[in-house]
Structure 1
Amino acid sequence: MTHGAPRGARQALDRQPLAYLVASIRGVGQVDLQPQLLTGAFILAALWAAGWKVGLFATLGTLIATATAYLLDVDRGSISQGLQGYSGCLTGIALVTFLGNHLATYILAVVGCAVTTVLTASLAVLLKPYGLTPLTAPFCLVSGVMVLGAPSFERIWHGAPSPVANPTRGDTGITFSDLWHAFFTNVSQVFLVNSWYVGLIMLVGLAFAGVRVVLAAALGSIAGIFAAWALGAPTAQIADGIYGYNSVLVAIAVGAVFLADTPWNAGYALLGAALATGLTAAITSLFKPFHGHTFTWPFILTTWALMAAVPLLPRLRAAEAG
C-alpha cells in the first residue's frame, strides 16, 4: 500500500490524539458507509443513549480496531476515513449483547476487534479483482465465531440470553404503531439495538451525510417493511426491525454510495433492499440449527451480488471513486 505523505510527517500526525479520535468517530459512521464526522458523532451518541454497555463496547471496539490499524501501518487515508474501525464497533456491540458484561467479554473484545482489522485487509485483497469491498464481513466472521463458540467455555459463557428473537410464525396483521416503530428500529437494528428513538437519532446523523443518504435509508426501511409484510412475516418481528435493517444498509450502499445517482440505480437499490428482506429469513433459518446469528450477512451477500453484476448491466453506472 502507498501513503500520501513522507513517513516522518505521517508519524508526527499519527501521534496526535485528535487524529486518532476523529478517525474512530468516523469509523462508527462507516457502519452505515458514511465518513462524515457529524454522522459518526450522532450515531455514537445514539448508541450511548441505547445504554452505557452498548455505548462503551461500541466505543472500545472502534478504538481498538483503529489503533490496531495504526500499529500495523495500514494506509493512513483508509484509517482517517474510518474504514478500519466500523467492524470493531459492531463486534464490540455483538459481544456484550450476546455474552453479557463480564471480564471475559472485555478480553474477547480486545482480541476480536483487533482481528477484524486483519480480516478487513485480507478480504480487501481477495475481493479487489472483483471490484468489491469487505463491507461488514469481518464483523460477521469474528462475532459469529466468538458467539457461536462461547457456550463451550465456562469462563466466557454466562448464559446470556439472545436479545434478538428468531423469526417465528405469528400474527401478520400490522398497525400504524407497528409501521412507525419498524421504520425507526430498522435503522437501529443495524447496530443490534431495538429502539425507535435510537433509530431516530441515527437518521438525524445520516441527514448530515446528505439528502441522498438519509433518503436511501428511509426508502430502504420502507422497502424492508413492505417486503416483510408481503411475505407474511410476523408483526412483532417486523416492528422490532428484525427484517428491515439489512434493507436499510443495502439501500444506502447501492443507492447512495456505490452507484451513481440515476433513476435506474435508485430502482436497483430498492430491489436489493427487498431481496435482502427475504434473504434475512433464509439465512436465519440456515443458521438456526446450530444457533448461529444472521447479523449483516444478508446485506453483505445482496450488495456483493448486485455490485458484481453492474459491469454487465449497461443501464447501471458505478459511482466515480472519490
Structure 2
Amino acid sequence: MAAGLAALLDDIALIAKKAAATTDDVAAIAGRTSTKAAGVVIDDAAVTPKFVAGVSPARELPIIWKITKGSLVNKLIIILPIILLLSWLLPGALTPLLMLGGFYLSYEGAEKVLEKVGLGGHGEGEAGEDEAGERDEEKDQSESALVRGAIFTDLILSAEIMVISLNEVADQPLLTRALVLILVGLMVTFAVYGVVGVLIKIDDIGLAIAHKQGASEGMKKFGLFLVKGMPKLLTAIGIIGTLAMLWVGGHILLVGFDELGLHWPYQTVHHVVENFEHLGGAVTWLMETGFSLLFGLLVGALIAVVVGGVKKLRAR
C-alpha cells in the first residue's frame, strides 16, 4: 500500500513538473509570438483614442472598458475557434489567410501615407462634404454606437493579431496553439487598452497637476508639459503605427509569395541584404525591415489606386 502510494505521488509530481514546464513554454512562446504582431498592436493603440474624442471625461474610461470587453470577445470567442478550426482542417489556408491580412495592412498603411502627402484620401468638393457630414453624424452618435464602431474596428485588427500569432505556432500541438493564442489575446488586449486608458487621461492628469494648490512651479510646468505634449505623443504613435503596419504587411507578403511559388521578390531582397551582412545584425535587420516597408508601401499604394478608382466609378 505504501509503495503504491509512493508511486502515485511520484506520478503526480512528474505530471506537475510537465504541466509547469508546459506552462513556462506557453508563456515563453506567447511572449515571442506577440512581438510578431507588434505593428498591428501599435496601430490598434493609435486608432482607439479617436473613439473617445469629444466624449465627456467622466465617460472615457467606462467606454474604454466596454471596448476592452468587446475586444476579448472578438479574440477569444469569435476569432480563436475559427482560426484553430482552419489550422486543424485546412492548414494550407493559413498562408493565403495571412496574406489577406498583409494586403489589408499594406493598404491601410499606404492610404495613410498617401493622405499625408496629398495623393489620397478625401479631396475637396463632394468627398470633403461627405466626410464633414460623417464627422457631424459621429458627434451625434450615442455612446453605444461609438462602442460598436470601436469594437468592429478592433475585430479587424484582432483578426490580424491572432492570425499572425497562429502562424508563429503552426507547428505546435493543437492544445499548445490554443493556450498560446489565449495568452496572446489576453496580453495584447490588456496591454493595448491599458495604454489607451493612460493616454486619454494624460491631459487630465496634467491639468490636475498644473492647477493643484500648493504645487511648485516645477510641478505646474510639468503638468502643462503633459497637456501640450499629448497631441504630439498621439501623432508620434500614429506615425510609428503606420510604419509598423507597412513593415509587417510587406514582410508577410514577401514571405507569403515565396511560399506560394513567386520567389523573386523575397529572393531579390535576400540577395541585396546578404551584401550588408558583414556590417552586423542590426544593419541587416534594418535593411530587411526597410525593404519590407517599401514593398508594403508599393503593394498598398497599388491597392489604394484601384480602390480609389472603383469608388469614383461608383460615385459616377
TM-score by length of 2: 0.29
Higher relative contact order (CA 8 A, sep 6+): 2
TM-score by length of 1: 0.28
